[in-house]
Structure 1
Amino acid sequence: MKWVKGSVIALVALVLVVVVALATWEPFFAEEGEAPPYREYTAEIVRDEYGVPMIYGDTDADVAYGVAIAHAQDDFFTLQDVVAMSKGRYAAIAGEEGAQFDFVYHLLDARGTAQREYPSLPADTRALFEAYAAGLNQYAADHPGEIKLAKLFPVDGEDVAAGFVLRQPFFFGLGNVIGPLVAGEELRREFGPDIPGFPRDGETIEPSAPDIMEQADEQASARPLVLPAGEDAAHLGSNAWAVSPEKSGGPTTLISNSHQPLRGGVAWYELGVQSGEGWHFTGANFPGSPFPFLGHNEDLGWTNTVNRPDMADVYKLEMNEDGTQYRLDGEWRDLESKTVTLPVKLGPLTLPIRRTVHRSVHGPVIENDNGFFAVRYGGMGSVQQLDAYYRINKASTLEEWQGQIARMAIPSTNFIYADREGNIAYVYNAAIPDRPEDVSANWRGILPGDRSELIWDGTVEYEEIPRVVNPASGWIYNANNEPFTAAGAGSDLDPEDFSPVLGIERKQTNRSRRAYRLLSDAETLDRAALERIKYDSAYEREGYVDMLFDQLETLEADGELAEARDLLLTWDFTADNEGRADALALLLIRDFMGAEYNNTEVPDLREELQDAVDHLNEHFGRIDPPMSDLLRLRQGDVDLPLDGGSDTLRASTTWDVDEDGRLSLRHGDSFIQWVEWPADGGRVSSRSIQPFGSATTRPESPHFTDQMQLYVDHRLKPVRFWPDEVRAAATSSITVTNAR
C-alpha cells in the first residue's frame, strides 16, 4: 500500500503545484511597463472645503502630473482599473466581467493603434500625457500597499492613449454592434429616418453569434458583452442647456447635467487646473485623463451629451474553406489572425484563456456561426482626440473652439457651448464615416465584404453635420434627442437638409419633450426658471409613456393586480415623492423606456406590473409606499431619499436593488455644473455638485459623503476658480514633485 500512499501524495503535490501556478502566473506573464523618460515635475494641489482640487504648475505638464496625483489621492482604486483596461489585464482584477473588456481591447487593437499613432501627436500633447503617467507612477511607488495587481506600473503616455482608444467608441454605441455579433443576439440598428433600402427603426438585420467565451471553457465563460465605457447601454442620458443674455435677462448661462454611473471608470471627477502657460480650466474628467472633458475657462465653456449616429458598418466576408483568406475585388487576401491570452481571475486562481482575434482591411473581424463579419467605425485608428480635447481646454473664442471641433477628431458626443461674449452653440459632433452616396448599398444592413468601394476612408466634413449657433430663440438644449429639436420653433434645423446616409438618429426622450416644452413656454429663462426646468420630475404622455398607459387602461385584471392598475391610472405623471402611485410607476416605467430607446422588445405589462407589486409587498407590505422610502442615495453609512425617475430631467436612471428592497441609485444626475458670464463683462462664476463627494472610494475621507445632502436637496456648491477664491477657501495645500 506504500505505492498507493505515495501516489496520493504525489497527486496532491501536483495539484498544489497547479493551483500555485494558476494563482501566480499572470504577473510573471505580463510585460513590465516602461516609465516615461525622466523629467522633473512640480505641482501644487490646493483643496477647498469640499476637497475639490485646484492644481497649479509652471507648465501644463507640471499640472498634468499634479492631476494624476490628486486623482489618485481620492480614487486610486478606480484609476488602477482603468490602467489595467489600457493594458488588456482587467480580467486579472475583475474576473469574467473584465474578460469582456480585455477581449475588446485586443479586438479593436487598442495597443497597436496607440503604438502607431501616439508618436505623431504634437510634442506638447505628448508631454502632457507623459507627465500624467509620471504622476500615476509616482503615487504607485509611494503607496505600494494600495496596488491591486503586480507589474501594473509603471505606465507611460502610450498606455494612457490606449485607454482612450478602447473606451471612446462605446460612447456612440459600438457595443450595440459588437455585442450582438459576439453574443449570438439579433443585430438591431436604430439610426436615421425611413428611406428606401433602410430598415425602419427596430427592424433586425441578421442573427449571429456564440458568446466570446465558448462552451469549451465553461468554468471561465463570460456573460454577454457589456460596454467597456460610456453610459448604461439601456438607459443613456444627459441634459445640457445654454441661454443667451437676451433670453436670461442677465448672464450667459451654461448648465452641464451629465448622467453617468456614480462610481467606476466613467464616473466624473471634479477638478480645476491653472498653469503658467495659460491653461486655466475647471470642470470634470474621467479616470485616466490628464485634462477635463467638460467645464469652463475664463472665456468659454461647454458640456456634452451622448449622441448615437450610425458610426459603424458591418461587412460579411466571403471566406475560403479553411477560414484563412477572404475575397476582395475578386482576389484572395490573408486574414490577419493572432491568439491572445485573457488572464481571467476566478476566486484565488487566474486562468489563462486563449482567444483568437481577426482583422481584415475593413477593420476588426468577428467569427460566429453565420460566418465572418468585419466592423468599421468612425474614428477607428486615430488618437487625435487626445490633442483636440487639450486644445479646446485652452481655446478663448468661439472661432478657435469651433476650429478644433471641426477637425472631427473627437469621435462623438453632442457639444453645447457658451461664452463671455454671449454666444451659444450646439454641435452634433460625430466623426461620421464618409460613405459614398453614389454606390448601391444598404448602409444599415450587412454589407458585402468583397467590394472595396464600400470601404470608406475618413469622415464627413464639418459643414455636413448639424449645428446651431446663436439661434433667435436665445436657448439651446439637448437631452439625448435628435439634433432637429434643439432651439425651438423657427430656430430648429430641417432634417431634410441632411443626407440620410449620415445616419443621424431620429429619437426623442421624455426629457427632451419636457425640456422643449418648458423652454418654449418660458418668456424669460432666468436662474429661477432654469432651476425649475432642471429639476423637473414630470413625464409627458407621449411615446412609450402613452403606449404604457394605453395598455394599462385596457388591462384586464382582478385582485391586487387590478388595484395596482387602478392606482397607476390615478398617477399625476410626476416622480416627485408626493403621489401614492409614484413608487409603483418608478418600478414599472424604466423597462418600457429602455425598450423604446434601444429598439428592443416591449416588456409584457402584466408580468412587469406583477413583479412591481410583488417587490413592494415583499419589502414594504403595501403597493403604495412613499417613493422616497424606495429610491435612495446610499454611500457608506449615509442613506438619503431621492426623487426623479428614469427619464425625467431630475434623473434617477438606474439602480441596484439592495437586500432590503430599496433601490440604491447607480446612474443618473452625476456631475452638475452651472456656469454664468455676467452681461456687464464681469468674471465668470460657477456652481456644481456631485452625488457623493470628491473621494468616492475613500471611506475614511471627510469628502466621501459630504455633498450628498446638497445633492438630494437640489442645491449646488460654489466652484473655486479664481486664485483669490481658491486661496480663501483652501483647507489644504501640498506641493508634489518627482525631483531626484
Structure 2
Amino acid sequence: MKRINIGFLFPLLALVILVYALSQPMFVAPPLGKLLDPFVGAVQNEDERRLGAKELTIPVHQLKAPVQVYFDERKVPHIHAQNTEDLYFAQGYITAFFRLWQMDFGSYAAAGRLSEIFSKKEFLEYDRTQRRLGIAEAAKHSLELIEANPETSTAVNAYTKGVNAYIQQLHYRDLPLEYKLLGYEPEPWTNLKSALIMKNIANKMSGYEEDLYMSKMILALGEDRFNQLFPEYYAQSTPVMNISRPQNVPAAAVKTPSYLNYAFLSANSVITESAWNPRLGSNSWAVSGKKTKSGFPILANDPHLNLSLPNVWMEMQLTAPGMNVYGVSMPGTPAVIIGFNENIAWGITNGADDVKDWYKLKISPDYKKYELDSNWSDLQVRREAIRRRGLPVFYDTVYSSVHGPIVYNKSFPGKDSDMVDMALRWELHRPSNEFLTFIQLNKAAGYEDYKNAIRHFQCPLQNFTFASKDNNIAINHQGSMPVKWPGQGRFILDGTSRTHLYTRYIPADSLPQLLNPACNYVQSANQRPTYGNYAYYYNGHYSETRANRIEQLLSTTQQLDISYMEKIQLDNVNAFAVEALPLLLSKVKSSELNAAQQQQLASLKTWNGSYEYGSTTAKLYDLWWWNTRNFTWDEFRNYRFYVRPPEDEVLLKLIRTDPGNTFFDKQGTVRKEDAADIITDAFIAAAMDVDKARKEGKIQWSDFHKVNLIHLTNLPAFSKMGIPAAGQQEVPNAVSRNWGPSWRMIVELGDRPRAYGILPGGQSGNAAGRYYDNFVDDWNKGRYYPLTFFMTVQEAEKQATSTWKLINR
C-alpha cells in the first residue's frame, strides 16, 4: 500500500488554526482571519467574473419588466428599461454593485455616524459636529418634500429597492474589501441615505464662512483700510453675467455695523481655519453654433472636487421611454447629475456664495431660553444618541433657536471660544428637492424644460450652464439668495434682534441669468456672478483668475471645435501671473542679485505663465509671489485671530499704485522697506530655495507638483500617491495636491451628440480590481475617451462588450 506523505498537512493545519484564531474579533479590530481566508476573504474581491461575463442573467425582485444593461469596453453601464421605475431600480442595483461601500460610508459620514465604524475619540467629535450642524435633520425635512412629490418619490423608492436587492444577494465573500478590513457589514439602504448624500454634497460646496474673521478684521483695521484690503469687487473681474458693464464699478464699501464692537465680540480668541477649501470650484462654458466650426453648440464642464478613490462620480447612460441621458451620477442618488441627452447638455459650477450666517445669542444661565426683541423665547432641544463601536452610547443635547442650531456651547465649545452660543442660519436647513432638478434635466428637451427643472435647486447656489441643439445657450446663478442689506451676513449678526433675520428671497426671475448673449458664449469658473450694479447685495468667496483666462481664450477665437475645448480645459496658464510678472520684473532691484540669481531672473522674462509639466520656471515664480505676499502681510500675523491675508489682486494693486505703503515695511528690520525692497528680498529667497531644490534633483514643475488620489479610509495601499502632474489651482487645469477636475466632459450637440470625457479613477470601487483606477494615467496625461452614447437598443446590442439582464425570479 502506498504510504501517505503527511508532511504537507502541517502547514495546512497551521493555516487552519491561524484562520480560526484570527476569525474571532479581538476588541474592535476586524477579524483578520476571515480577511485572509482564501475562500471568503480579501482575495474574493478580485473575482470580476460577473464583469467579464459576455452575458449574465441576474434574478431580482420587484421589476415590472426585464432590464438590459449593456457594458462598453470601459465598463460604463448603459441601462435600458421599459419604464422609469425599473430604470431607477436598475441604477440602484448597478451602482451598489460597483460602489456599495463608498455610498454607504458617505451616508454614515453625512449623518454623523462614523463612531459606529471607528472607535477613536476623534470620530465622536466629528459625529457631534455633524449632528449639531443639522445635516441629518435637514435631510429628514427635505425627504418629506421628496417623498411627497410623485416624480421623485418613484425614483428614490425604486433606487432604494435596487440597492437593497443587491445587498440581499451578498455573501461575506462578496462584500467590498473595506467592510472586511473594518469589520462590519452593510445595513439596508434607505431613502434617507440618498437624501443625506445630497445634503452632504451641499455641505461641502457651501462651506464658506468668514463671519467672525471679517468681524474682527473690520474692528482691527477700521472701515477705510478694511474696504481697501478686503473689497467686494475687483476691477479685473469677469463676472458670470458679463454684460452691461457699468462705466464706474461701485466701490461697494461696507460700514461697520453699529452693534459690532469689542464688547460684542471677544478680541483675543484664535480663529480656527475652516476645513472648507475656498478654491474648490469648477469650470463650465457653452458656445453657440454661431461660433463653432460645425454650426452646433458645444458645452464643456469640469467640476473641481476632492480627488479620491473611488471617484466621486460614476459614469453611465440611463434609457427608458421619454428619456435617454448620459453623464455622471453621484453614487447613492438617482439620475445623472452632469451630462447630456439627444437635445440638451448641462454643466454645473459652484456659485461660491455665502449661505451660512452666524448669530450671537443671549442665553439664560439654565440654557432654557434666549432673548429676542427684549422677550425670552424657549430654546428648542433635541437629544442625539450617538452609537459607538465597543463603547456605551453617547447622548448629546443640541439646542436651537429661531435662527438655527447652536453648534457650540459650554458642553461642546469647539476650537474657538467666540463661537460658543452662536446660532447658525444656513440655507441647507431649508427643505428642498434637488432630486427633482436632475430627474427633469435628464429628460429635458429644450430651454423651457431646463428653466423649469433648475428652479427646484435651492442649496448650494450653483451656476448651471446650458446648451441645446436648437442653438440656445444659457447660464443661471441658481438657488436661494436672501434679500439682505449691504454687509448683512458678512459679519456676525445680532441674534437678539429680529430685524437681523431676513425673510425675503430674490425672485427667481431676478436671479443672475443670461440667455443667448451677443458674444455667443457663456462661462463660469466660480467668479462673482454680477457686476457691482446688481440690484441686490450678496457676498461670497469668488475666484477671478481662471474666469479671466477662459474669457480670454473664448473671446479671441472664432470657429471653435471640440479640440479647442480640450485645450481650454487643459490650459495651464495663470492669468494673474501673466499680469503680475511684468510689474514684479520692473520693480526688482537686479543690482542686489548675484550672477546666478541674475540668470534665474532672466529665465522669468521669457516665461509665459504656464504651469506645464516640464516647466523649469514655474516654481521660481510660484515661490517669488508666495514670498512677496508673506513678506508684505507679515503684520497680519500679529493678530491672534489671523486666518488669511487679502486677495492677490489687492496686493498687486498696492504694488502698482502705492509702493510706499506701510504694509511693505517689514517688521523686525532697521530699514524702511518699500514694494521694490519686498519684491527683491522675495526673489532672492525664492532663487535660493530653487537652487537648493535643483541640487536635490528637482528641476521641473512636476518634480514639485504631485497629485494624491486618496482612498476614503486614507489607506495608502488603496490610494495613488505622488503622481507628477501639470496644472495649478489658479489655471483652468486646476489640478492641485488632492483636488481638481473630478470629471472632464465636452459635448457637441447636433443630429446626434458627440461627447468626450474622463474621470480620475475608474468605474469600480473594488481596490483589488482592474477597473478601480484604470483611467488615472490617461486623465493625468490630458487624454479623453469618446463617450459612447447609444441612440437605440439596437446600437447597444451591436456595440456592447457584455450584457446583463435583470429579471424577476
TM-score, length basis structure 2: 0.70
Q: CA deviation at 1:283?
A: 0.9
Q: CA deviation at 1:414?
A: 0.5
Equivalences for residues 205-244 of structure 1 within 5 A:
226-227=275-276, 233-244=277-288
Task: Give the Cα separation in 2 of the matches to 1:154 and 1:590.
Answer: 50
Structure 2 contact 138–428 (Cα < 8 Å) conserved:
no
Indicate how the Cα distance of structure 1 residues 408 and 48 shifts in structure 2: closer, same or farther if over 3 A, else same: closer
Q: CA deviation at 1:633?
A: 6.0
Equivalences for residues 267-416 of structure 1 within 5 A:
267-276=312-321, 278-342=322-386, 355-366=396-407, 367=409, 368=413, 369-370=417-418, 371-416=420-465
Q: Given the alignment of the two structures, is residue 517 of structure 1 paired with residue 540 of structure 2, yes or no?
A: no
Task: Give the Cα separation in 2 of the matches to 1:96 and 1:209.
Answer: 28
Query: How many residues are aligned here?
Result: 653
Indicate how the Cα distance of structure 1 residues 592 and 141 shifts in structure 2: closer, same or farther if over 3 A, else same: farther
Q: CA deviation at 1:374?
A: 1.2
The aligned residue for residue 252 of structure 2 is: 195
Task: Give the Cα separation in 1 of the matches to 2:733 and 2:158.
Answer: 38
Q: CA deviation at 1:454?
A: 2.8
Structure 1 contact 408–462 (Cα < 8 Å) conserved:
no
Compare 609-618 and 247-256 and name the one that shifted more.
609-618
Q: Given the alignment of the two structures, is residue 671 of structure 1 paired with residue 740 of structure 2, yes or no?
A: no
State the AA in 1 paired with 2:303. S
Q: CA deviation at 1:540?
A: 2.2
Equivalences for residues 472-483 of structure 1 within 5 A:
472-483=518-529
Indicate how the Cα distance of structure 1 residues 331 and 569 shifts in structure 2: closer, same or farther if over 3 A, else same: same
The aligned residue for residue 642 of structure 1 is: 725
Structure 2 contact 311–759 (Cα < 8 Å) conserved:
no
* 3-state secondary structure, aligned to 2:334: coil
* 3-state secondary structure, aligned to 1:303: strand
1:420 pairs with one of 459, 463, 469:
469
Q: CA deviation at 1:566?
A: 6.8
Indicate how the Cα distance of structure 1 residues 446 and 633 shifts in structure 2: closer, same or farther if over 3 A, else same: closer
* 3-state secondary structure, aligned to 2:565: helix
Structure 2 contact 353–541 (Cα < 8 Å) conserved:
no
Q: CA deviation at 1:248?
A: 1.0
Task: Give the Cα separation in 1 of the matches to 2:534 and 2:478.
Answer: 17
The aligned residue for residue 487 of structure 1 is: none
Task: Give the Cα separation in 1 of the matches to 2:364 and 2:704.
Answer: 58
The aligned residue for residue 431 of structure 1 is: 480
Q: CA deviation at 1:246?
A: 0.7
CA offsets per residue over residues 354-381 of structure 1, 9 Å max, x none?
5442211111113353441112122423
The aligned residue for residue 132 of structure 2 is: 107
The aligned residue for residue 71 of structure 2 is: 47
Indicate how the Cα distance of structure 1 residues 593 and 306 shifts in structure 2: closer, same or farther if over 3 A, else same: farther
Task: Give the Cα separation in 2 of the matches to 1:524 and 1:286.
Answer: 34
State the AA in 2 paired with 1:102. D
2:700 pairs with one of 606, 613, 626:
626
Q: Given the alignment of the two structures, is residue 137 of structure 1 paired with residue 164 of structure 2, yes or no?
A: yes
Task: Give the Cα separation in 2 of the matches to 1:441 and 1:248.
Answer: 42
Structure 1 contact 263–696 (Cα < 8 Å) conserved:
no
Structure 2 contact 211–491 (Cα < 8 Å) conserved:
no
* 3-state secondary structure, aligned to 1:538: coil
Q: CA deviation at 1:570?
A: 5.8
Uncovered stretches (5+) of structure 1, i.e. residues with no partner: 1-18, 25-37, 213-222, 228-232, 485-493, 656-665
Structure 1 contact 548–592 (Cα < 8 Å) conserved:
no
Structure 1 contact 411–430 (Cα < 8 Å) conserved:
yes
CA offsets per residue over residues 295-320 of structure 1, 9 Å max, x none?
11121121011112232222111222
CA offsets per residue over residues 377-431 of structure 1, 9 Å max, x none?
2242313212222222222121121023234535421111000110000111121
CA offsets per residue over residues 26-71 of structure 1, 9 Å max, x none?
xxxxxxxxxxxx8446543321111111122222232222222322
Task: Give the Cα separation in 1 of the matches to 2:451 and 2:315.
Answer: 24
Equivalences for residues 12-161 of structure 1 within 5 A:
39-40=62-63, 43-93=67-117, 98-99=123-124, 102-120=127-145, 121-143=148-170, 144=172, 145-146=175-176, 147=179, 148=182, 150=184, 152-161=186-195
Q: Which has the higher contact order (CA 8 A, sep 6+)?
A: 2
* 3-state secondary structure, aligned to 2:490: coil
Q: CA deviation at 1:72?
A: 2.8
Task: Give the Cα separation in 1 of the matches to 2:801 and 2:472.
Answer: 36
Task: Give the Cα separation in 2 of the matches to 1:469 and 1:174.
Answer: 28
1:253 pairs with one of 293, 298, 301:
298
Structure 1 contact 191–506 (Cα < 8 Å) conserved:
no
Task: Give the Cα separation in 2 of the matches to 1:180 and 1:152.
Answer: 44
Indicate how the Cα distance of structure 1 residues 616 and 415 shifts in structure 2: closer, same or farther if over 3 A, else same: farther
CA offsets per residue over residues 459-511 of structure 1, 9 Å max, x none?
32112211110001111111111223xxxxxxxxx5313222xx155844321
* 3-state secondary structure, aligned to 2:168: helix
Equivalences for residues 478-497 of structure 1 within 5 A:
478-484=524-530, 494-497=531-534
Indicate how the Cα distance of structure 1 residues 537 and 593 shifts in structure 2: closer, same or farther if over 3 A, else same: farther
Q: Given the alignment of the two structures, is residue 531 of structure 1 paired with residue 543 of structure 2, yes or no?
A: no
* 3-state secondary structure, aligned to 1:496: coil
| Identical aligned residues as a percent | 20
Structure 2 contact 570–733 (Cα < 8 Å) conserved:
yes
Structure 1 contact 672–688 (Cα < 8 Å) conserved:
yes
Indicate how the Cα distance of structure 1 residues 246 and 162 shifts in structure 2: closer, same or farther if over 3 A, else same: same
CA offsets per residue over residues 569-594 of structure 1, 9 Å max, x none?
66431112343223445677789999
Structure 1 contact 90–102 (Cα < 8 Å) conserved:
yes
Q: CA deviation at 1:260?
A: 1.8
2:799 pairs with one of 721, 729, 734:
729
Task: Give the Cα separation in 2 of the matches to 1:199 and 1:285.
Answer: 45
Structure 1 contact 384–410 (Cα < 8 Å) conserved:
no
Q: CA deviation at 1:79?
A: 1.6
Task: Give the Cα separation in 2 of the matches to 1:209 and 1:46.
Answer: 62
State the AA in 1 paired with 2:106. V
State the AA in 2 paired with 1:365. I
Indicate how the Cα distance of structure 1 residues 354 and 131 shifts in structure 2: closer, same or farther if over 3 A, else same: same
The aligned residue for residue 685 of structure 1 is: 754
Structure 1 contact 688–719 (Cα < 8 Å) conserved:
no
Indicate how the Cα distance of structure 1 residues 344 and 583 shifts in structure 2: closer, same or farther if over 3 A, else same: farther
The aligned residue for residue 577 of structure 1 is: 613
Q: CA deviation at 1:119?
A: 3.2
Indicate how the Cα distance of structure 1 residues 591 and 270 shifts in structure 2: closer, same or farther if over 3 A, else same: farther
Equivalences for residues 527-566 of structure 1 within 5 A:
527-541=562-576, 549=584, 553=588
Indicate how the Cα distance of structure 1 residues 104 and 289 shifts in structure 2: closer, same or farther if over 3 A, else same: farther
CA offsets per residue over residues 280-304 of structure 1, 9 Å max, x none?
2111122221112111112112101
* 3-state secondary structure, aligned to 1:483: coil
Task: Give the Cα separation in 2 of the matches to 1:63 and 1:154.
Answer: 20
* 3-state secondary structure, aligned to 1:511: helix
Q: Superposition RMSD on alpha carbons, in Å?
A: 4.3
* 3-state secondary structure, aligned to 2:93: helix
Task: Give the Cα separation in 1 of the matches to 2:728 and 2:86.
Answer: 42
Indicate how the Cα distance of structure 1 residues 548 and 622 shifts in structure 2: closer, same or farther if over 3 A, else same: farther
Task: Give the Cα separation in 1 of the matches to 2:168 and 2:683.
Answer: 51
Compare 82-91 and 294-303 and name the one that shifted more.
82-91
- The structure with the larger Rg is 2
Q: CA deviation at 1:165?
A: 2.8
Task: Give the Cα separation in 1 of the matches to 2:752 and 2:93.
Answer: 29
Indicate how the Cα distance of structure 1 residues 158 and 703 shifts in structure 2: closer, same or farther if over 3 A, else same: closer
Task: Give the Cα separation in 2 of the matches to 1:524 and 1:617.
Answer: 47
1:167 pairs with one of 201, 222, 232:
201
